[in-house]
Amino acid sequence: MKAAIVGGGVIGGGWAARFLLNGWDVAVFDPDRQAPRKLAAVLENARMSLPLLSDLPLPPEGRLTHAATLAEAVAGAEYIQESVSERLELKHRVFAEIQRTAPGTPIGSSTSGYRPSQLQEGAANPAAIFVAHPFNPVYLLPLVEVVPGPASDPALIERVKETLRGLGMFPLHLRREIDAHVADRFLEAVWREALWLVKDGIATTEEIDEAIRMGFGLRWAQMGLFETYRIAGGEAGMAHFMAQFGPCLTLPWTRLTDVPAFDDALVALIAGQSDAQSGHHSIRALERIRDANLVGFLRVLKARDWGAGRVLNAHDAGRSDDGAVPVTLHPDWAEADGTLGEAGWLAAASAVAPQDGQRSTDTHVRQLATVRPGEALTATVRLSGDATARHLLVTFRRDGAPVASVERRLAPRATAPQGER
């Protein structure tokens, strides 16, 4: 399977990582000469974090190519994701060029604001164009807003949703199109109010972030808005909450319909406070901190089969089948007498379940039978634990009977900080 990624920035790079680490071949087109370097940094983060969300090993990583032309990138692709700059005329030019080579291939746009009907204007095949709006980091967060337009093909949209589920994502199919879709409209409202609070001297950027992450942000991460407020209504539920707090909607608590003047003074104020808050970390360091925190949150939700954790469990279940994969034992793994010893089983376990940026802190090999290369074996892999400590168990079987097992305790591999100040 091949995916084409058009635009290799933060979002496009996240899409590329999501596809690659789920076994797709990926062709990226981006005229920016720095695109390969930027994408390599995104992939480094993804390889360290995405495998930690699964209780099964990810499939072998797909092949990445940087295409010299857009036509080369999309040729033969089964799915195309556009992540170029938010300029409608640019997107129209990109769609036109794509459809000269791949007229029927699904084209998802990462646009955070444009409606699909706007994207489809003037297209040779508007039915193939739709919105597939993800959230950063794309390789970890499951949500993707799938928004069809008036000319969209319903059958194509259903196939796209299955493709996205196969990547471990949660396609939220919007009932009808609207500017900025759903989630970004919430973010815009919160962002606008936050700008006023800083501009008016009520709170700093750090204090606003603390208000979110120490309070309602933790609730939203696992129950969202309405379920959280349902609990707030007590035993009487949502109706009681609405009756109690509904009148507040008429009070001038917020300034959501007002926009602060976006001038140099506001930019300097926000940027200065943000530098004081987080400037001692490089962007790469902040990305690693963010990813490690997200993995921890998502693993907790996964253990409880709740929210985004349920999506991760469904992804594992869809890939696991009976959990057994055929194993070919390499002759070089055998001891002098032609049988597998401890070193051979360790090599076999590494081939079946690569450690994906993890290091072994403890290893135990059990040999239950004599085995030689060439025999037909199967292996099952089980992973448990969280982002800080994982337990890996690989069991080898011959005709259904265990012949060996390898247990490993894994921890994140230490990486040198980049650009720390």
188 contacts: CB under 8 Å, gap ≥ 6: 180
**Residue 387's pLDDT band (boundaries 50, 70, 90)?**
low
pLDDT of residue 383: 78
Tokens representing 307?
Answer: 């929210």
Query: Is residue 64 domain-shared with residue 199, that is, in the same domain?
Result: no
- Average pLDDT over the chain reads 89
Each residue of 92-146: pLDDT tens digit? 999 999 999 999 999 999 999 999 999 999 999 999 999 999 999 999 999 999 9
Q: Which residue among 259, 280, 301 closes a domain?
A: 280
- CA angle, 420 as apex, 9 and 83 as ends, to 5°? 5
Tell me: pLDDT of 366 over 50: yes
Assigned domain for 285 exists: no
Query: Is residue 111 domain-shared with residue 28, that is, in the same domain?
Result: yes
Mean pLDDT of 28-47: 94
* Domain count within the chain: 3
pLDDT of residue 187: 92
Report d(CA 189, CA 191) in Å as an integer: 5
Tell me: pLDDT of 45 over 70: yes
Assigned domain for 296 exists: no
Assigned domain for 308 exists: no
Query: Is residue 57 domain-shared with residue 118, that is, in the same domain?
Result: yes
Domain that holds residue 56: 2-173
pLDDT > 90 fraction of the chain, expressed in percent and rounded: 55
Query: Is residue 169 domain-shared with residue 187, that is, in the same domain?
Result: no
Assigned domain for 303 exists: no
pLDDT of residue 112: 94
pLDDT of residue 289: 87
CATH of the domain at 112: 3.40.50.720
pLDDT of residue 270: 86
pTM of the model: 0.77
**Residue 322's pLDDT band (boundaries 50, 70, 90)?**
low
pLDDT of residue 386: 64
State which of 7-16, 256-265, 326-335, 385-394 shows the largest mean pLDDT. Answer: 7-16
Assigned domain for 298 exists: no
Query: Is residue 152 domain-shared with residue 204, that is, in the same domain?
Result: no
User: Does residue 111 or residue 320 have the better pLDDT?
Assistant: 111
Query: Is residue 205 domain-shared with residue 169, that is, in the same domain?
Result: no
Tell me: pLDDT of 252 over 70: yes
Q: Which residue among 153, 173, 193 closes a domain?
A: 173
Mean pLDDT of 320-339: 80
Distances in Å between the Cα of 247 and the Cα atoms of 170, 186, 222, 252, 310 are 35, 21, 27, 11, 36
Each residue of 166-217: pLDDT tens digit? 999 999 999 899 999 999 998 999 999 999 999 999 999 999 999 999 899 9
Tell me: pLDDT of 89 over 50: yes
Query: Is residue 371 domain-shared with residue 340, that is, in the same domain?
Result: yes
Query: Is residue 122 domain-shared with residue 271, that is, in the same domain?
Result: no
Query: Is residue 197 domain-shared with residue 157, that is, in the same domain?
Result: no
CATH of the domain at 356: 3.10.129.10
Tell me: pLDDT of 12 over 70: yes
Q: Which residue among 173, 194, 219 closes a domain?
A: 173
pLDDT of residue 418: 42
Tell me: pLDDT of 218 over 50: yes
pLDDT of residue 30: 96
Query: Is residue 55 domain-shared with residue 114, that is, in the same domain?
Result: yes
**Residue 320's pLDDT band (boundaries 50, 70, 90)?**
low
In contact, 81 and 106? CB cutoff 8 Å: no
CATH of the domain at 219: 1.10.1040.10
Query: Is residue 132 domain-shared with residue 205, that is, in the same domain?
Result: no
Query: Is residue 157 domain-shared with residue 196, that is, in the same domain?
Result: no
62 contacts: CB under 8 Å, gap ≥ 6: 1, 19, 20, 21, 22, 23, 24, 25, 26
Report d(CA 277, CA 255) in Å as an integer: 25
